[in-house]
Amino acid sequence: MATPGSLSTHAGIDLGGTKIQAAIVADDGSVLGSARLATPTTGGPESVVAALAKSLREAALAAGVNVPKRIGVGTPGSVDPRRTTVTGARNLSGFEGTVPLAALLGAALGAQIVLGNDVGVALDAEAALGAGVDLASFIGVWWGTGIGGGVVLDGQRWLGRGAAGEIGHVVVEMGGRRCPCGREGCVEAYAGRRALEERARKLHASGHKTRLFKIAEKKGRERLTSGVWAKALEEGDELADELIEHAVRAIAAGAASAVNLLDVEGVVIGGGLGTRLGEPYVAKIAAAMQQHLFRPERPPLVCLSKLGDFAGAVGAALL
């Protein structure tokens, strides 16, 4: 029985470039209460911290508990070894340098804050409570603004020298398209939401027809969010379809390369765009992987993240 503030509840916040997802989570990973807010795009760390605090208070209210004394936060950028500061989270307003996020949010909520890498904690949650229940080893492909990822081997995330898992920066085209990371031919250059938006804008400006920007306007979005892409695909928008098909091929080539290298049991697709586009696109990725697999007769299981939109918040709560 969860009593207010009891030890059986955990609190986590997934801080993304587009949205903030907070959750109060039970020991078994079930979500007792949650709240979602848009990530402030201006106002710097102060406004981001205010939104984080607000989301957590709303989630606690929804779960009927007090704000817990210890809260995990999954964040983009690099987290220091003491897990209190974040550096270079360029998706976030005013986070280009080092931000003492644990101290700032701790002061706002009167709680101890522990930071973790956003995709990393989501994958830890998948390994412990989601896809990992069926798969001892898998690759996670977090298809969102960028393409994050991770490698889980024998139930544990493999970190290498600390930066393993960059499936988004596996090269699928030598001398290929410029990636937001500055390199050429990475999976993310063809499949990340930011790269897709940039490409769509360029093609639209040069006369290609698309309803993407009309749909965004209607939805009151400045960016081509996952919902905008989903709507455009639903409406049969040719440009959206072409760009997403190319994204699928790039993700499939990168994931198949990882499988040829590691022969893992599964590939788990998550992230904002992955979760939003869902099963039909997971099936497309699986189909496009076949031609590249060294052992096509026994492909890995390709599946959607089991924890979906909550993977990050649940993972943060487990920190």
Contacting positions for a second copy (CB under 8 A) = 137, 149, 151, 153, 158-167, 169-174, 181, 183-185, 249-250, 253-254, 256-258, 260-265, 291-292, 294-295, 298
CA distance 301 to 236: 29
Q: Is 113 helix (H, G, I), strand (E, B) or coil?
A: strand
Question: Closest distance between a second copy and the C-beta of residue 166, in Å?
Answer: 4
Ramachandran angles phi, psi of 41, nearest 5°: -95, -5
In angstroms, what is the minimal distance from the CB of 242 to a second copy? 15
Residue 305 Cβ, how far from a second copy at the closest point, in Å?
Answer: 19
Q: Give the CA distances from residue 121 to residues 140, 189, 285, in Å, rounded to whole numbers and listed in that order.
A: 11, 24, 24
3-state secondary structure of 215: helix
The pair of structure tokens assigned to 19 is 């949205």
CB of 32 to a second copy, least distance (A): 35
Q: From CA 180, how far away is CA 295, in angstroms rounded?
A: 32
**Angle, alpha carbons 91-118-143 (nearest 5°):** 75
Whole-number Cα distances in Å, 219 to 48, 196, 205, 233, 277: 23, 18, 21, 15, 17
Describe the crossing of helices 238-262 and 226-234 by its angle, rounded to 10 degrees: 120
Q: Which is nearer to a second copy, 46 or 96 (CB)?
A: 96
**Least separation in angstroms between CB 307 and a second copy:** 22
Q: Which is nearer to a second copy, 28 or 297 (CB)?
A: 297
Nearer to a second copy, 221 or 292 (CB): 292
Least distance from a second copy to the Cβ atom of residue 83, Å: 19
Closer CB to a second copy, 89 or 170, in the complex: 170
